[in-house]
Amino acid sequence: MLGKTVIWTGKITSIESGDNGGVRVVVHAQTNDVGSAFLDFDPSQRSDFLRLKEKQVIRFTGVIRSFVASPFLENCKLIQVLD
């Protein structure tokens, strides 16, 4: 699965500052049975997450960078806020 681009849906469990001014979002992935997923968004999307909060459901895309106990995605893009 490494390097694969995915489109998933998940419920936000936390939003925090990431590396290099980006945003790290942790979601409970609902699309796949992977549990939590760690999403790294670049700084250009920071303003999108200022209006979001925990427990909201989002649809997003990203590339699987690594998979330890949970997947870590990079180059993430917010597609839609569902709830």
Q: Give the residue extent of every domain in the chain.
A: 5-81
- CATH number given to 5-81: 2.40.50.140
Q: What is the DSSP string of 4-69?
A: -EEEEEEEEEEEEE-GGG-EEEEEEESSSS--EEEEEE-GGGHHHHHS--TT-EEEEEEEEEEESS
pLDDT bracket for residue 69 (50, 70, 90): confident
User: Between 28 and 32, whose confidence is greater?
Assistant: 28
Q: What is the pLDDT of residue 16?
A: 93
Confidence (pTM): 0.88
Query: Is 65 a residue whose pLDDT tops 70?
Result: yes
- Given a cut of 80, whether residue 32 has pLDDT beyond it is no
